[in-house]
Amino acid sequence: MWIDPLSRLIHRHAGQHGPVMLMYHSVSPRNGTPDWPWAVSIQRFRSQLDFLAEAGWATPTMAELVAAPEKWAGRTAVITFDDGYVDNLVAWEELQKRGMRATWFMVSGSIAREPAWPDDGRPAGRLLNAAELRAIQATGMEIGSHTANHVRLTEADDNVLRGELSNSKEVLEDVLGSEISSFAYPYGAWDARSVNAVRAAGYRAACTTRTGWALRDGDACQLRRLTMFNTDTVGSLARKLYFGSNDVSWHTLANHTLKRLRNRARL
Ligand SMILES: [Zn+2]
């Protein structure tokens, strides 16, 4: 697959700072760049998976990573999907074809329905239903929670906070017949209080949208993730994997390189 030579060069040393997590939302079946920043086209998604496979990235679920972080010392990228759009079924197929895994974070109050939280330009359509979630889980993928109502936890009072976490866990465990141990904070909004509430509700791990190496903070309930946007190419993915950052524009990279050269000149 084609990738610009500079990104390929930069990526050669990727994977030395520990696992990364990638956050996807919608996967568009149409050609071209989707309008919604958090949707990726299926062609781009396919080439991103091909690149991860070709470059030797392991793709465990979030639960697998957290259960034994020492096992994932090499190139490791945990693929995650927030919200559970029905268009993710094609992504699931592509993952299976390549023997890759992923983790889906579901809003339990909107299973099989149109999302009940405010629309921000996302594609129309329902979220995955119970049968689909069971089928996805049966192929080794993980289903996690994303609250009951896609609530911004940092703004919820204590009762709502507790309810959002425990109700969602119960409903999803009922649907799937197994423990739900992973969680993703809606809007990436978290603070010390919500981290404690996540633990108290019985989750083992939770991820934010703060960028960086997943395990950098040494806290399984504050895992960092990189965001995959509509405009991301294989090249920008390769650079994100190396820098552990969403900001991999050529402008940023030029500054980074200049700084390194200057430091070297000083030695
Ligand atoms: Zn969400």
Beta-carbon contacts of 64 under 8 Å, excluding residues fewer than 6 positions away, are 72, 101, 142
Distance from residue 151's CA to the centre of ligand 1 (Å): 9
Distance from residue 264's CA to the centre of ligand 1 (Å): 43
Q: Is the pLDDT of residue 177 over 70?
A: yes
Q: How many structural domains does the chain have?
A: 1
Q: What percent of the chain has pLDDT above 70?
A: 100
Distance from residue 190's CA to the centre of ligand 1 (Å): 13
Distance from residue 187's CA to the centre of ligand 1 (Å): 6
Three-state DSSP class for residue 193: helix
CATH code for the domain in which residue 65 is found = 3.20.20.370
Residue 1 confidence (pLDDT): 76
Domain of 93, in residue numbers:
5-266
Distance from residue 95's CA to the centre of ligand 1 (Å): 21
Residue with the two structure tokens 């609530």? 151
Distance from residue 209's CA to the centre of ligand 1 (Å): 11
Q: Quick one: average pLDDT of 68-86?
A: 97
DSSP 220: T
Could you tell me which of 64, 37, 73 has the C-alpha nearest to residue 229? 37
Counting DSSP H helices and E strands in the chain, the numbers are 9, 9
166-176: pLDDT as tens digits: 999 999 999 99
Sequential DSSP letters for 24-58: E-EEE-SSS--SSTTEEEHHHHHHHHHHHHHTT-B
Distance from residue 263's CA to the centre of ligand 1 (Å): 41
Three-state DSSP class for residue 82: strand
Residue 267 confidence (pLDDT): 57
**What's the pTM value of the predicted model, to 2 decimals?**
0.95
Residue 2 confidence (pLDDT): 83
Q: Is the pLDDT of residue 90 over 90?
A: yes
Distance from residue 238's CA to the centre of ligand 1 (Å): 25
Query: ∠63-67-71 over CA atoms, to 5°?
Result: 110
Distance from residue 188's CA to the centre of ligand 1 (Å): 8
Q: Is the pLDDT of residue 265 over 90?
A: no
Distance from residue 186's CA to the centre of ligand 1 (Å): 5
Distance from residue 185's CA to the centre of ligand 1 (Å): 8
Distance from residue 70's CA to the centre of ligand 1 (Å): 29
185-240: pLDDT as tens digits: 999 999 999 999 999 999 999 999 999 999 999 999 999 999 999 999 999 999 99
Q: Quick one: average pLDDT of 96-119?
A: 96
Check: CB of residue 27 under 8 Å from CB of residue 39: yes
63-72: pLDDT as tens digits: 999 999 999 9
